[in-house]
Structure 1
Amino acid sequence: MSAPARAATLRLAALGDSLTAGWGLPASEAFPARLQAALAEKGHDVTIANFGVSGDTTAGGLARLDGVLAAKPDGVLVELGANDMLRGQAPEAAKANLDAILSRLKAAGIPFMLCGMRSAKNYGSDYAAAFDAIYPELAQKYGVELYPFFLDGVTGQPGMTLPDGLHPTARGVEVVVARILPTVEMFVARLKAAPAAMAGQ
């Protein structure tokens, strides 16, 4: 006997830094709002709560995780690490913090996907290699979806970032959303399949 289709809205939480918070943009143009709209256009009944805080490092995200857990979302998008990198913090520390976040989400039974970041070139090849490896290694460890580089198609592209050269413009956010959407749809499909999998046990 097949499980009934999920009728309720799928509730996601986006745990991140200024890239999630939408620094310099109206709330309606921030990444979670635009991703929610893009998912709706694809026929997905999904809401995305914005748990982005500008300036947050992976340690900050870990410190705020109780708030995300208390919201009891159906799934979490984790987007952290850019500020660790910009401050030149040890990749090992960032990885440990992210690992702790993912471990606690797993223990709480809340599925998640990972949004990756890449090191700026000015920190040297050794730092970049160590930092860039964080996300694929953690995605493999937990067997979850990974979008390799959150700012793919935005960094270094004219008109895609604000004058600081770091944060996306509204157009830049649309590029991020368009590129990450297939990965998020895979994540959403996994969440929608979960009730059916449970029913079949």
Structure 2
Amino acid sequence: MAKIREAEHSTAPAAIVLAGGRSARMGGGDKSLLTLGGRPLLSHVLDRLIPQADKIAISANGDPSRFAQFGLPVLPDTMEGYLGPLAGLLAGMDWAQATGAAQIASVPTDSPFIPADLTARLMSSASPDRPALAASGGKHHPVVGLWPVALAGRLRDFLESGATYKVSAFAQECGAVLVDFPVIALTGDNVDPFFNVNTPEDLSLAEKVLEETQR
């Protein structure tokens, strides 16, 4: 896997890979370490994200040493309880803000085909106080987005309220805009670029997509 290097654009945002899911439909464990094309699923996500981000961290609880091979900061949730991806996003915002970043991109660890122009297109629609979220094929993908780190305090208050922990609800409260991305055209079918590997069947499909897109 490629090492972190200077991003192609000096204005590239920080990024957080959300790897804290429970992976119940995959039998538990770390979904990010499942093998796709002979390599960890997380490696495929990072290969696409590294050229688009100034710095990257992994959001995950538990022993961080299991991610040592990737050489990235591993950020545990800073709030108690299982609050879902928003808790990981909050940890990422706090980390990014401490490094001087103004924006942070979020992607899940189980979407190995994120577009190569993801952050550039999201940045073109985001603003200092408004996030931008990905959409494709008529579907919204709230976990894939670009967030002003200045929203960290607002996100903390949102989580502490306990009303809901849905990413889409927080995004709507912040007036998020949607950015549409084209589907991946395959032989006889189309695949959402934000397709999630949630089940063994999804992993088999991902192997097929990887094989065809690498030809």
TM tier, shorter chain?
Answer: 0.3 to 0.5
Where is the helix percentage greater, Structure 1 or Structure 2?
1
State the TM-score, normalized to the length of structure 1.
0.35
Where is the strand percentage greater, Structure 1 or Structure 2?
2
State the TM-score, normalized to the length of structure 2.
0.33
